[in-house]
């Protein structure tokens, strides 16, 4: 499936035209195109390589899934790889979509799977039609800005999830501790996805701003700088949230350890109290003669000692907050 759009003199001109016309349109003055490929075949990308002069290595990378986020610069074109990361509202899981793009002076060719929806890019282009005279950099900015906005929404959701996790940290019960551990590991995994797939895009945008991409003129540069600022914020937020989740895990382990210590103190206190009656009954059970042996007075004496010493130990342990 292929979607095509063309602009001429900063205004929308054509759409849904055959791909074979791309080379003719880009040859016209003040005309640029956007070609969006969904799961293209190798022969379709070979046509792109032939008509637009895209480097063969970039075409090879475009056919392979799992590329790292990057911006490769060739003599006549750029090859961009970004990831559109969104959150599923039903399960709360993160979903990442790989999007690749060839960038030339007159054309942007995007490549992605069938599960990717770039309608937000089109809406952004229609909403910012007043800067369409910047050409292909405008298309490139719309793609990057859409991806970054989606990532920002995910970061906000994760921030709220971490805040809720911190609020639930001091709930009592072993089930609560297990839930906090499970939620913490899920959040760390999601933050790791953002760190691996979104944060590196900052380097690509920085490369554009520092002049590695000659296509970007000064008029569109502030828009790329805005995208870079959002990416810097995302990177900082991801690191802060990772630290926060790590602190939650450490605190949860500390709370569990303290709770275990309290239990051990109580068990030790009761064991000490029980040990006194055991010692007294053992003493009075010796096979030797002593005052009160085989008499009621000996029974009352031993019971009195058991009750008195147990109460004394109980009062002492209570005063020290062991029981």
- Spatial distance between the Cα atoms of 17 and 24, rounded to a whole number of angstroms: 11
Residues 261, 234 share a domain: no
For residue 172, pLDDT beyond 60: no
Residues 138, 25 share a domain: yes
- Give the total number of structural domains in the chain: 2
How many beta carbons lie within 10 A of that of residue 47, not counting itself? 15
Residues 168, 31 share a domain: yes
pLDDT, tens digit, 9 for 90 and up, residues 204-237: 898 888 865 556 666 788 899 999 999 999 999 9
Residues 139, 42 share a domain: yes
Residues 269, 247 share a domain: no
Residues 283, 141 share a domain: no
Q: Which residues does residue 95 pair with via DSSP β-bridges, in sequence order?
A: 86
Quickly state the pLDDT bin for 142 (edges 50, 70, 90). Answer: very high
Residues 302, 235 share a domain: no
Residues 6 or more apart whose Cβ sits within 8 Å of residue 255: 169, 170, 177
Counting other chains too, the contacts that 286-291 makes at CB distance below 8 Å and 24 or more residues apart are none
Question: Of 30, 71, 72, 79, which is closest to residue 52 (Cα–Cα)?
Answer: 79
For residue 164, pLDDT beyond 90: no
Residues 151, 166 share a domain: yes
Residues 268, 136 share a domain: no
- The domain in which residue 212 lies consists of 2-256
Residues 167, 247 share a domain: yes
Residues 278, 251 share a domain: no
How many beta carbons lie within 10 A of that of residue 232, not counting itself? 14
The answer to whether 102 and 58 have CB atoms below 8 angstroms apart is: yes
Residues 198, 295 share a domain: no
- Spatial distance between the Cα atoms of 137 and 26, rounded to a whole number of angstroms: 15
User: Which of 40-44, 169-173, 312-316 has the least mean pLDDT?
Assistant: 169-173
Element (H, E) at 315: helix 296-319
């Amino acid at each position: 499936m292929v979607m095509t759009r063309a602009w001429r003199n900063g205004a929308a001109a054509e759409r849904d035209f055959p791909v074979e016309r791309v080379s003719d349109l880009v040859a016209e003055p003040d005309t640029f195109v956007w070609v969006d490929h969904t799961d293209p075949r190798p022969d379709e990308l070979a046509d792109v390589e032939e008509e637009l002069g895209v480097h063969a290595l970039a075409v090879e990378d475009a056919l392979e899934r799992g590329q790292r986020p990057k911006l490769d610069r060739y003599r006549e074109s750029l090859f961009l790889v970004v990831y559109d990361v969104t959150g599923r509202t039903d399960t709360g899981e993160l979903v990442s979509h790989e999007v690749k793009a060839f960038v030339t002076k007159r054309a942007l060719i995007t490549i992605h799977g069938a599960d990717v929806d770039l309608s937000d890019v089109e809406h952004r282009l229609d909403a910012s039609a007043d800067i369409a005279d910047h050409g292909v950099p405008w298309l490139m900015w719309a793609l990057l800005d859409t991806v970054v906005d989606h990532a920002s929404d995910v970061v906000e959701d994760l921030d709220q999830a971490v805040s809720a996790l911190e609020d639930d940290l001091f709930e009592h019960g072993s089930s609560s501790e297990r839930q906090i551990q499970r939620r913490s590991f899920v959040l760390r995994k999601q933050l790791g996805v953002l760190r691996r797939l979104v944060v590196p895009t900052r380097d690509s945008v920085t490369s554009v701003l520092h002049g590695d991409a000659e296509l970007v003129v000064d008029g569109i540069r502030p828009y790329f700088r805005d995208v870079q600022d959002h990416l810097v914020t995302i990177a900082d937020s991801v690191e802060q949230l990772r630290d926060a989740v790590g602190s939650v895990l450490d605190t949860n382990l500390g709370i569990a350890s303290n709770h275990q210590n309290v239990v051990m103190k109580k068990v030790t206190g009761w064991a000490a109290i029980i040990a006194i009656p055991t010692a007294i009954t053992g003493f009075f059970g010796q096979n030797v003669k002593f005052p009160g042996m085989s008499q009621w007075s000996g029974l009352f004496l031993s019971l009195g000692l058991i009750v008195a010493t147990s109460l004394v130990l109980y009062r002492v342990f209570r005063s020290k907050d062991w029981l």
